[in-house]
Amino acid sequence: MVVAIAVVWEGGKALFALPSYQLPHLHEIAADFLREGAGGERWLWIMAQNASYTALESLIGFALGGVTGLVLAIGFAHSRWLERGLLPYVVASQTVPILAIAPMVVVWLGTSWFSKAVIAAYLTFFPVTVNMSRGLRAVDPDALAMMRALAASSRQILFKLRFPAALPYLFTALRISATASVIGAIVGELPVGSRFGMGVVIINAAQYYNWRPANLWAAILVSAVIGIVFYHAVAAVERRVVSWSRTAPVV
């Protein structure tokens, strides 16, 4: 796969005679990682620092959003009124460009890592809530009747039946959220005032693009890798946890 991309990349560059300004050689991008930055540090190190900063924001946001979404979904499963009152907004929020309020969150919470984590959290929270409450309700009625026949308490029904049954739905949401949380963190770093993270590196690299185009490509590459690693980490956990599931629901 990597080889195929490299071939298409360099092939396309040669075929359309694209200058390095539009599409740098792969080795130029690789070389950028070894270049020394203004502070005398190698870019490999600068990227690694910023990448881990962004990754940490995403991770905190992912955990925060995941837990909030879970709690809310369980609340919905318990109270029809809560569900009828709030779920329409959770669903409607998926139809509006919610990420547009990212700059406002930064205004409220400042430019520290916290505001980024919050943005990552709310991108995580929506799919988890929607999918999890769908999953908790998607229990086989016969299985529910059997639990009732065994005089199971509602807590037992939740943990022994509803929760396991909802896991495939949960993981489908978590996979989407994994990438979304990285996007949230990066977008949260865009507003003026942020100092660390891949969003900042990308904005700066874009400003200096005319001088060193490979820098932007490298920054984007690193950002993409964070997203891909997150996504596949969740997918790997999913395969272990819900290995019994025949069909993962498609969202």
Decide: is 128 part of the binding site for another protein (CB under 8 A). Answer: no
- 27, 78, 84, 148: which one binds another protein (CB under 8 A): 84
Decide: is 5 part of the binding site for another protein (CB under 8 A). Answer: no
Decide: is 85 part of the binding site for another protein (CB under 8 A). Answer: yes
Binders of another protein among residues 142 to 201 (CB under 8 A) are 175-176, 178-179, 182-183, 186-187, 190-193, 198
Binding segment for another protein (CB under 8 A), chosen from 33-41, 113-121, 146-154, 211-219, is 211-219
Distances (CA, A) of 117 to 184, 234, 247: 8, 18, 32
Residue 53 CB, nearest approach to another protein (Å): 15
Decide: is 98 part of the binding site for another protein (CB under 8 A). Answer: yes
Residue 132 CB, nearest approach to another protein (Å): 18
- 26, 67, 74, 99: which one binds another protein (CB under 8 A): 99
- Whole-angstrom Cα distance, residue 187 to residue 110? 14
Decide: is 48 part of the binding site for another protein (CB under 8 A). Answer: no
Question: Do 115 and 105 form a contact (C-beta atoms < 8 A)?
Answer: yes
**Binding stretches for another protein (CB under 8 A):** 1, 21-22, 81, 84-86, 88-89, 92, 94-104, 106-108, 175-176, 178-179, 182-183, 186-187, 190-193, 198, 202-203, 205-206, 209, 213, 216-217, 220, 223-224, 226-228, 230-232, 250
